[in-house]
Chain A
């Protein structure tokens, strides 16, 4: 069995979602299995059209800071979050959506990008994935 990484994406901030996908895609590229568990603010990023809508975690300055960082990232050749998501799926990564967050925040399945989501689940599923993982991270 391949090594596995299970990552909780609790933050919806753009830079932190980037961190999650960079680690996840790196792990997939090195032959590991990866599950991303999107919960709370992170789950907002799975809404239709929401993947890169998160603010910058620091110095967002009503979006000005985010705009500046995005411009620098583009210049440095950093891939978009959408491309990272496509690569994640192509390399066999699994996306899990927290069903409690959906209930609290009034998010319906049809509000989310259902084609990307493998399962709608709770903490038991996370633990089942994490207990067989060599790496587990919480992105807050």
Chain B
């Protein structure tokens, strides 16, 4: 199982969402995708996309305006 990291710090709508989707498409079943970013709305919207895609949201953490979202494909 691989862990794929995506850095979207400083990127704005819709890039964090799009980069998350691109990484999830490349991931294999069971892989973990970790997205780090600063765009506030994406912190809520990436979990919405994960739900719509029927994948598993592992956790969402936020520290000083930087969030980290972990998703299992």
For residue B16, which residue of chain A has the nearest CB? A29
State the main secondary structure of chain A at its contact with B.
helix
State the main secondary structure of chain B at its contact with A.
helix
Q: Tell me whether B22 and A91 are in contact (CB under 8 A).
A: yes
Q: Tell me whether B12 and A31 are in contact (CB under 8 A).
A: no
Q: Tell me whether B22 and A90 are in contact (CB under 8 A).
A: yes
Q: Which of chain B's residues have a CB closer than 8 A to the CB of A77?
A: 10-12, 15
B58 at the A interface (CB under 8 A): no
Q: Which of chain A's residues have a CB closer than 8 A to the CB of B13?
A: 22, 26
| Bound Cα distance A30, B42 (Å) | 12
A36 at the B interface (CB under 8 A): no
* Residues in chain B within 8 A of chain A (CB atoms): 10-15, 17-18, 20-22, 25, 48-49, 52-53
* Residues in chain A within 8 A of chain B (CB atoms): 22, 25-26, 28-31, 76-79, 87, 90-91
